[in-house]
């Protein structure tokens, strides 16, 4: 784990042009005057005969003479003092250095400018004197920046193991030398380049993340939570009394339930790989950041339908939230044939409100685009959906799984069904391009926790801008998968009623929000066509819903990730009959999405 961070200055924390275009010209301009005024000072005497000519020549030839450096330092100090010079430091660098310092990293500088000049620079930034960030400074008196030996010397002096030190520089040659000494490296590549050196690359300091990351376990979590006073008080008692269980039954992350003497809370932490598969399938920790952002948005729009948020630790990819208890995962409840009187209302509202409030029907174009930017980096999670939902079920993909032999024929027909494959790809294209609203992205019955009366949606780590019908279709698909899995006619009836009620409540709620809107750049209010516009918009959402519902059903039967509703049917032949029926139905939905006009026809 990284413990110390050593940074270069020029081109890394500060612009190259500051030194070349501001500092050096300033020294050139003011040195002669200073020398004339202080001809008898020891610093000027150290230059020797004809000091002005000599200094000017050294500067022209970029000589690293100590006497020159000393005098430059004096002149710069005066410039800083008078306010004529303000040291340049990138805001992203300063913010990150402060964050790292506060997190407990030890920070050092290694730059070719003299130590005195380094201290001057960090002592006179627009943000004031920030030298308190650093525990030590190194310049070329310890050795050249292109020699591994210099880094070894620094390492011995600061007393960390080589692999505990991170070196930041804009120069690949310097990074190569540091790497030779066993250090970790990040290349600050602020200006685009096609070269791909063997160093982690970052455009700005803000991109250097997760340095403090470590996966939590039941032994390390108490001390971490105890550091956060509010959380410790919330839990009650002392850390030794807290009961911690890891309950992550999901495919990707760690989930801990922490019981204090007063209250409980839930800690969710991302792992740098897919939990279900292991380290061979890496997955970015940043998904925790997107999940948190989506939860913040949902807490704003539907606070009673999502867990409350207590803390987000970006560096640990960890979120502390409300512990839902005695809630259970909806899928388990559906398998147990439980009826939930408020479920359709809650999920209909959850979808309508979150999708409406993040769409162009409500936001201004600028607000919407800014929100899209926040989620634009969640590409790895989107790729999972793009591959697993829209493509893999329709060819012989290595990760496909199906109930063989009952579904062997179905698999063959999926791979040769050109109209179906085209339709799935049209839906994929819409998912890729039609950024209508912030979707939950994974809204299935395993992402919902319920009691008889309450409903909470969890796990929006796939959060991304997508067609509005995407979430709606995914959720209805999971109700229908449950429908196909059951044999009990009464419960099946209840599930169909859920499909109908959920759609109707979603459509009603969405319509009410749309008709009452006072903002939103799409379908301009000035044109007075709100009613007619709503009809068109709902028709599009409906078509998309049917399409996404269909592809979700198919991929949950023949793709990588299956649903327990069907998997728990022990008799493979019986399961096969049900699965084949579901797939035939899904195909009709996908191909008929333009001709099936209402929920009654679906039922």
Contacts with ligand ADP, residue ranges (CB under 6 A): 247-253, 255, 257, 266, 268, 307, 321-324, 329, 458-459, 461
Residue 459 as a binder of Mg ion (CB under 5 A): the answer is yes
- Which entry of ligand ADP, Mg ion, none binds 121, CB below 5 to 8 A by partner kind? none
Q: Running DSSP on this structure, what letter comes out for residue 234?
A: H
Q: Sign (positive/negative) of CA torsion 53, 59, 64, 68?
A: positive
CB of 517 to ligand ADP, least distance (A): 32
**Of 252 and 430, which CB lies nearer to Mg ion in the complex structure?**
252
Write out the two tokens for 288: 């925790």
From the number of C-beta atoms within 10 Å of its C-beta (0-12, 13-18, 19+), residue 427 rates as: buried
Pick one of ligand ADP, Mg ion, none as the site partner of residue 46 (Cβ within 5 to 8 A by kind): none
Report the nearest approach of ligand ADP to the CB of residue 343 (Å): 17
Six-digit token string for 271: 């792992």
CB of 178 to ligand ADP, least distance (A): 37
Which uninterrupted H or E stretch holds 438? strand 437-439
Number of residue whose CB is nearest ligand ADP:
250
Judged by CB under 5 A, does residue 291 bind Mg ion?
no
φ/ψ of residue 563, rounded to 5 = -115, 140
Contact 347, 475 (CB under 8 A): yes
258 binds, among Mg ion, ligand ADP, none (CB under 5 to 8 A by kind): none
Q: Least distance (Å) from ligand ADP to the CB of residue 362?
A: 27
- Closest to 296 (Cα-Cα) out of 156, 162, 463, 169: 463
In the complex with ligand ADP, which residue's Cβ is closer, 231 or 324?
324
Residue 487: CB atoms within 10 A of its CB come to: 9
CB of 426 to ligand ADP, least distance (A): 29
For ligand ADP, the closer of residues 250 and 592 by Cβ is 250
Cβ-defined contacts of 21-29 (< 8 Å, 24+) = 22/85, 22/88, 23/72, 23/76, 23/85, 24/59, 26/75, 26/76, 26/79, 26/84, 26/85, 27/59, 27/71, 27/72, 27/75, 27/76, 28/56, 28/59
CA distances from 198 to 167, 206, 221 (A): 14, 20, 34
Q: Which stretch binds Mg ion (CB under 5 A): 49-57, 206-214, 242-250, 507-515?
A: 242-250
Is beta strand 165-169 parallel, antiparallel or unpaired with respect to 184-188?
Answer: parallel
8 binds, among ligand ADP, Mg ion, none (CB under 5 to 8 A by kind): none
In the complex, the smallest distance separating the C-beta of residue 270 from ligand ADP, rounded to whole angstroms, is 8
What is the C-alpha to C-alpha distance for residues 57 and 72, in angstroms, rounded to an integer?
A: 14
**Residue 466's binding partner out of Mg ion, ligand ADP, none, with CB under 5 to 8 Å set by partner kind:** none
Contacted by 75, from Mg ion, ligand ADP, none: CB < 5 to 8 Å by type: none
Contact partner at residue 255 from ligand ADP, Mg ion, none, CB < 5 to 8 Å by partner kind: ligand ADP
- For the segment 555-584, give every residue that binds Mg ion (CB under 5 A): none
Query: How many residues touch Mg ion (CB under 5 A)?
Result: 3
249 binds, among Mg ion, ligand ADP, none (CB under 5 to 8 A by kind): ligand ADP
Location of structure tokens 């004339």: 36
Nearer CB in complex with Mg ion: 170/459: 459
Question: Which span (29-37, 167-175, 247-255, 272-280) binds Mg ion, by CB under 5 A?
Answer: 247-255
Selection from ligand ADP, Mg ion, none that 247 binds (CB < 5 to 8 A by kind) is: ligand ADP
Q: Rounded to the nearest whole angstrom, what is the least distance from the CB of residue 276 to ligand ADP in the complex?
A: 9
Beta-strand (E) ranges in 117-164? 134-138
State the DSSP string of 528-589: --HHHHHHHHHHHHHHHHHHHHHHHHHHHHHSS---HHHHT---HHHHHHHHHHHHHHHHHH
Q: Which of 307/547 has CB closer to Mg ion?
A: 307
The residue ranges that bind Mg ion (CB under 5 A) are 250, 252, 459
């Amino acid at each position: 784990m990284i413990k110390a961070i050593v940074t270069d200055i020029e081109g890394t924390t500060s612009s190259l042009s500051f030194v070349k275009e501001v500092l050096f010209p300033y020294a050139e301009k003011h040195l002669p005057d200073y020398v004339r005024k202080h001809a008898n000072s020891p610093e000027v005497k150290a230059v020797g005969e004809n000091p002005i000519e000599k200094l000017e020549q050294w500067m022209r030839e970029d000589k690293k003479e100590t006497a020159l450096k000393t005098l430059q330092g004096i002149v710069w100090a005066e410039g800083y003092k008078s306010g004529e010079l303000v040291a340049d430091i990138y805001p992203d660098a300063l913010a990150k250095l402060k964050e790292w310092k506060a997190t407990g990293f030890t920070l050092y500088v290694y730059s070719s400018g003299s130590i005195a000049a380094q201290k001057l620079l960090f002592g006179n930034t627009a943000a004031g004197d920030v030298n308190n960030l650093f525990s030590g400074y190194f310049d070329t008196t310890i050795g050249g920046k292109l020699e591994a030996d210099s880094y070894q010397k620094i390492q011995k002096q600061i007393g960390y193991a080589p692999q505990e030190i991170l070196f930041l520089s804009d120069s690949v040659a310097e990074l190569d030398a540091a790497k030779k000494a066993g250090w970790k490296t990040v290349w600050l590549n602020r200006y685009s380049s096609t070269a791909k050196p063997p160093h982690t690359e970052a455009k700005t300091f803000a991109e250097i993340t997760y340095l403090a990351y470590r996966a939590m376990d039941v032994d390390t979590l108490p001390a971490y939570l105890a550091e956060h006073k509010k959380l410790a008080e919330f839990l009650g008692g002392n850390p030794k009394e807290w009961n911690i269980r890891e309950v992550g039954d999901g495919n990707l992350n760690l989930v801990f339930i922490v019981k204090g003497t007063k209250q409980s809370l839930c800690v969710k932490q991302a792992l740098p790989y897919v939990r279900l598969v292991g380290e061979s399938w890496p997955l970015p920790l940043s998904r925790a950041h997107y999940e948190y952002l989506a939860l913040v948005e949902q807490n704003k729009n539907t606070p009673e339908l999502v867990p409350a948020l207590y803390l987000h630790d970006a560096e640990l990819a960890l979120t502390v939230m409300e512990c839902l208890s005695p809630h259970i995962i909806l899928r388990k409840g559906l398998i147990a044939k439980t009826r939930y009187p408020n479920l359709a209302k809650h999920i209909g509202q959850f979808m309508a409100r979150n999708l409406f409030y993040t769409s162009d029907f409500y936001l201004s174009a600028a607000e919407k685009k800014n929100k899209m930017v926040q989620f634009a980096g969640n590409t790895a999670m989107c790729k999972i959906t793009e591959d697993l939902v829209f493509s893999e079920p329709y060819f012989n993909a290595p990760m496909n799984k199906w109930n063989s032999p009952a579904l062997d024929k179905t698999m063959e027909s999926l791979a040769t069904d050109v109209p179906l494959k085209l339709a799935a790809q049209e839906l994929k294209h819409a998912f890729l391009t039609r950024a209508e609203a912030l979707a939950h992205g994974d809204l299935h019955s395993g992402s919902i926790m319920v009691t008889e009366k309450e409903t909470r949606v969890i796990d929006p780590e796939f959060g991304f801008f997508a067609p509005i019908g995407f979430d709606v279709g995914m959720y209805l698909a999971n109700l229908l998968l449950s429908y196909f899995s059951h044999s009990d006619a009464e419960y099946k009836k209840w599930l169909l009623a859920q499909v109908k009620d959920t759609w109707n409540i979603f459509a009603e709620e969405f319509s009410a929000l749309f008709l009452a809107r006072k903002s939103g750049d799409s379908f301009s209010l000035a044109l007075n066509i709100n009613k007619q516009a709503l009809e068109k918009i709902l028709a599009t959402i409906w078509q998309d819903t049917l399409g996404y519902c269909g592809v979700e059903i198919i991929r949950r039967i023949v793709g990588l990730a299956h649903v327990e509703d069907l998997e728990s049917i022990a008799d493979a032949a019986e399961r096969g009959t049900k699965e084949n029926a579901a797939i035939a139905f899904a195909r009709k939905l996908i191909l008929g999405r333009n001709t099936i006009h209402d929920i009654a026809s679906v039922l």
